[in-house]
Amino acid sequence: MWSGPPQPDQGLPPPLAAVPVPWKSTDPCQGHRESPGPLVETSAGEEAQGQEGPAATQLDVLRLRSSSMEIREKGSEFLKEELHRAQKELKLKDEECERLSKVREQLEQELEELTASLFEEAHKMVREANMKQAASEKQLKEAGGKIDMLQAEVTALKTLVITSTPASPNRELHPQLLSPTKAGPRKGHFRHKSTSSTLCPAVCPAVGHTLTPDREGKEVDTILFAEFQAWREAPTLDKTCPFLERVHREDVGPCLDFTMQELSTLVRAAVEDNTLTIEPVASQTLPAVKVAEVECSSTNTCALSGLTRTCRHRIRLGDSESHYYISPSSRARITAVCNFFTYIRYIQQGLVRQDAEPMFWEIMRLRKEMSLAKLGFFPQEA
């Protein structure tokens, strides 16, 4: 079976070059017959090329193989380097992840401890706040009770001032005004007559001999009333104001001017400062007291006048432990002055709710009591 002409790449020589026959022809058509020469050369060149082709192909294949091996080696080295680099980066990332994990665990532990401490502190603060609130409520309750008690006392004091003033004391409301022999024990507040003691404004009202001003003829002195009204607009205990300066000069000074000048000065200062205390004297003998070189060793000598009298009361100046025995006349003079100062203190504190004229006449009556006591008139004790 014929398979066609042989191909050049199979290494077979071309047919024309197989039998080269050189020849010359004298024929007129010689030029055309000599043309096979170049054809023969062409065939030879093709044969040479056909012989060199397989070698070049093999060389190219070898070159390709060496290039591919180089590429493979370089690619392998590159991949190894990349793998090593990736492994190194992965290791670093693993270390970083481990470090961050430890940091997170530490932070979580610190957060738990902080939360626990905060809760504990919050519970402690709440507990302390509850305790403080309970204490504050207790104090508020106690303060409320004290305020109610003080309000009740103020109300009672106002009622006492309205219903019983130094001008007309109510003996039922003031059992301490009774004489030591008649004053019985008070319910819930009993003291022995030898030790009972209060400040002079509370125990020095005018005793007995209550006048009835309505039955007397009265006429307001315009000068005295003007001075009183000026003082009443701004009540004060300052002796420099005209009203009190006149009372001190005309009534208080002469009434408290006793024979014993040194003790008289101390008594006057204690009365003005509201620190004088008058106490009834018990039957037993009390310690001796020296006053201005006069030894009052018994209750038969008045420490203020120096006269021998039966002294049923004694006075104490401020916080001093010394007591001075006084006669009924001296006590009446001191209590008359105490009544005056008690009433003007009530006016200064706003406890007297009266018009100007009744207040003025009450002060005039108190001044009259001081004048009578200075002249030696005093009520006799039963």
- pLDDT by residue (tens digit) across 44-101? 555 555 556 677 788 888 888 888 888 888 888 888 888 999 999 999 999 999 999 9
Whether pLDDT at 39 is above 70? no
Q: At 258, is the pLDDT very low, low, confident or very high (cuts 50, 70, 90)? A: very high
Calpha distance 351→56 (Å, rounded): 142
> Are 344 and 209 contacting, i.e. CB atoms less than 8 angstroms apart?
no
CA dist 248 to 142, 206, 244, 255, Å? 44, 19, 6, 9
Between residues 166 and 292, the one the model is more confident about: 166
Whether pLDDT at 135 is above 70? yes
Average model confidence (pLDDT) across the chain: 75
pLDDT for 379: 79
Q: At 103, is the pLDDT very low, low, confident or very high (cuts 50, 70, 90)? A: very high
The sign one gets for the Cα dihedral 120, 126, 129, 134 is negative
Question: Beta partners for 325?
Answer: 314
pLDDT for 113: 92
Non-local CB neighbours of 201 within 8 Å, separated by 6+ positions: 274, 338, 341, 342, 345
- What's the pTM value of the predicted model, to 2 decimals? 0.45
pLDDT for 295: 41
pLDDT for 360: 92
pLDDT for 59: 81
Between residues 198 and 74, the one the model is more confident about: 74
Classify residue 225 by burial, with Cβ atoms within 10 Å: 0-12, 13-18, 19+.
middle
- 261-273 and 328-348 are packed helices; what angle lies between their axes, rounded to 10 degrees? 30
Q: What six digits make up the tokens of 215?
A: 């039955």
pLDDT for 253: 93
List, for residues 266-281, the tens digit of each pLDDT value: 999 999 999 999 988 8
- 356-374 and 328-348 are packed helices; what angle lies between their axes, rounded to 10 degrees? 160
